[in-house]
Amino acid sequence: GRPRPVMAAVPPPSAPGGSEPPPPPLQYSLLLQHLVGEQRRPRAWDPAALGGIPSPPKSEEQKMVERAMESCAFKAALACVGGFVLGGAFGIFTAGIDTNVGFDPKDPYRTPTAKEVLKDMGQRGISYAKNFAIVGAMFSCTECVVESYRGKSDWKNSVISGCITGGAIGFRAGLKAGVIGCGGFAAFSAAIDYYLR
Query: Which residue from 119, 100, 103 is spatially nearest to 111, judged by alpha carbons?
Result: 103
Predicted confidence (pLDDT) per residue in 125-134, tens digit: 999 999 999 9
- What DSSP state is assigned to residue 154? S
CB of 90 closer than 8 Å to CB of 132: yes
For residues 13 and 36, give the distance between their C-alpha atoms in angstroms, rounded to a whole number. Answer: 37
For residues 187 and 166, give the distance between their C-alpha atoms in angstroms, rounded to a whole number. Answer: 10
Q: Is the pTM of this model over 0.75?
A: no
Compute the C-alpha angle 52/57/60, nearest 5°.
140
Q: Among 40-49, 63-72, 79-88, which range has the highest average pLDDT?
A: 79-88
Predicted confidence (pLDDT) per residue in 174-187, tens digit: 888 889 989 998 89
According to DSSP, the residues that pair with 104 across neighbouring strands are 107
For residues 71 and 66, give the distance between their C-alpha atoms in angstroms, rounded to a whole number. Answer: 9
Torsion sign, CA atoms 136, 138, 141, 142: negative
Predicted confidence (pLDDT) per residue in 118-162, tens digit: 888 889 999 999 999 999 999 998 988 898 888 888 888 888 999
The structural domains of the chain, with segments of one domain joined by +, span 64-152, 154-196
Mean pLDDT of the chain, nearest integer: 79
pLDDT band at 63 (very low <50, low <70, confident <90, very high): confident
